[in-house]
Amino acid sequence: MKRKAADRASSTSSGSPDGWSPSSSTASGGNTTTSTSTTTTQPADGKAGTAAKPGASRRGHSKSRLGCLNCKRRRVKCNELRPTCSPCRRLGLLCDYATAAQPAAALVQSAPSSTLCLEDLRFYYQFLNTAFPSLPLRADQVWKKCAAMSHQSECLAHAALGLGALHLSKHGNVDYSAQALAHRVSALKIVNEQFARPPRDQDNADSLFAALICLAAQTTLLPDGIAEYMTITRAGALVWAFVIPAHGSSVFRSFTNESHSENLSRIVSEDEPKDFALADAFLASVAAARELCVDSPRELYYCQRVADAVEGLRVSSLQAWLAHAALWRAHCYFSNDDFQAFIAKDNHPARLLIAHMLLVDYLLGQFCLKDSEQLTFTARKDVIVSWVRDAIGALPKDVRPYGDWLVGYCDVVEKSDGRYLLTP
């Protein structure tokens, strides 16, 4: 009787329910040591006894039966938070409970409405076919890969859907601005979290970079986004330089300076007639703005980058475009304090220079792009013109005359086909 009770106690204390013990270890002789716990039995004589000698105690392994698919695939414990568990949130993954076993009530409660799902599919289709960013140049296949990556990155998924929704609003007859904003806010929230703990593996770093490019492209369709556009493009440059571990194995490897220049040589047109009178008028406006920057090396540096882009036309269209690429990255090299001071609304010389930067894109576009190049963000022109007019209109009265030429050129751009250098 005593032996049977002891045998039963020993058999019920030998490990976790599924037979796997996380605390098991292999000894030097190849033996496996398994811990047992002390179990009290009640023998026939009424005296308590122990079934086995106490060994190293351990806690039983608690499996996450209702965890998300990513945690199950990675074999880590999921805390089952919804809509996004903590491990997926930390890694920027799209948390998916789709096939995890859940009670029927939980499925009904967590399932999105069919209308929202159908709209998201439409936004995704718009992104995949038309609304993907124009950088890297001629990189439609790259963005198809990114679309596939969005299934594993919540950040990229929201950024792509937000871009698709706003592009559809600007180029269609239905307003999806509210949906676009909701996706944008979700993407920006995750971006901020990932900047606090940047991803180190290639796929997640690529997803973060892709999300930032999508957010930058979406910003150029928003009514008031100068400072936000500058901030997001700067963040993208920082991710490209410091977070993506190996550009050669990145899905964006065509975005390196060398590959970008090679793509430019295939796109740029040297046959388009150059209206140097227009270029000279633009340079005169830049020279006038320089007068406001004499006491600020930072603004003088940026002013020279603007002038270099237009002066490049005298060499070749390719040289002008390369100089424009350097201008587009110029603010990315400022320190954090300098950058924040540069984009401040009360920094009137800087705001005037940014207005020049936005319009030099359209000045060069008509000289550098072949007529055969297709433009997907046709609504971008109206937004940029609006940005420039508002920026000049907000300048103090004594500074506003420095932007008069730009306001007049906005009228010209507004009536043109809006050819620009394929920047986000």
Contact (CB, 8 A) for 20 and 14: no
- In this predicted structure, the answer to whether residue 60 has a pLDDT above a threshold of 80 is no
Contact (CB, 8 A) for 243 and 199: yes
Find the range with the poorest average confidence among 83-87, 95-99, 216-220, 233-237. 95-99
Segment 206-228 mean pLDDT:
94
Residue of 164 and 28 predicted with greater confidence = 164
Q: What is the pLDDT of residue 93?
A: 77
Condensed to tens digits (0 to 9), the pLDDT of residues 282-331 reads 999 999 999 999 889 999 999 999 999 999 999 999 899 999 989 999 99
Q: How far is CA 233 from CA 20, 98, 215, 219, 242, in A?
A: 49, 34, 9, 10, 14
- Does the N-terminal peptide bond of residue 198 adopt cis geometry, omega within 30 degrees of 0? no
Q: Where are the domains of the chain?
A: 118-255, 263-415
Q: What is the pLDDT of residue 3?
A: 46
Alpha-carbon span 121 to 164, nearest angstrom: 10
Segment 394-398 mean pLDDT:
96
Cα 311 to its chain centre, rounded Å, is: 33
- Centre a 10 Å sphere on the Cβ of residue 66 and count the other Cβ atoms it contains: 13
3-class DSSP state for residue 50?
Answer: strand
Find the range with the poorest average confidence among 6-15, 188-197, 211-220, 301-310. 6-15
Q: What is the pLDDT of residue 412?
A: 95
User: Using 50, 70 and 90 to split pLDDT, how confident is the model at 62?
Assistant: low
User: Using 50, 70 and 90 to split pLDDT, how confident is the model at 420?
Assistant: confident
Alpha-carbon span 229 to 89, nearest angstrom: 25
Q: What is the pLDDT of residue 65?
A: 64
Mean pLDDT of the chain: 80
Q: What is the pLDDT of residue 301?
A: 97
Find the range with the poorest average confidence among 45-54, 185-194, 273-282. 45-54
Contact (CB, 8 A) for 360 and 282: yes
36: β partners? none
- In this predicted structure, the answer to whether residue 146 has a pLDDT above a threshold of 80 is yes
Contact (CB, 8 A) for 130 and 376: yes
Segment 83-100 mean pLDDT:
73
41: β partners? 49
Alpha-carbon span 181 to 184, nearest angstrom: 5
Condensed to tens digits (0 to 9), the pLDDT of residues 339-372 reads 999 999 999 999 999 999 999 999 999 888 877 7
User: Using 50, 70 and 90 to split pLDDT, how confident is the model at 377?
Assistant: confident
Q: What is the pLDDT of residue 364?
A: 92
- In this predicted structure, the answer to whether residue 12 has a pLDDT above a threshold of 60 is no
Alpha-carbon span 51 to 40, nearest angstrom: 7
- In this predicted structure, the answer to whether residue 197 has a pLDDT above a threshold of 50 is yes
3-class DSSP state for residue 26?
Answer: strand
CA nearest 55: which of 76, 33, 74? 33
User: Using 50, 70 and 90 to split pLDDT, how confident is the model at 177?
Assistant: very high
- In this predicted structure, the answer to whether residue 41 has a pLDDT above a threshold of 80 is no
- Centre a 10 Å sphere on the Cβ of residue 180 and count the other Cβ atoms it contains: 24
Q: Which amino acid is at 18?
A: D
Residue of 218 and 5 predicted with greater confidence = 218
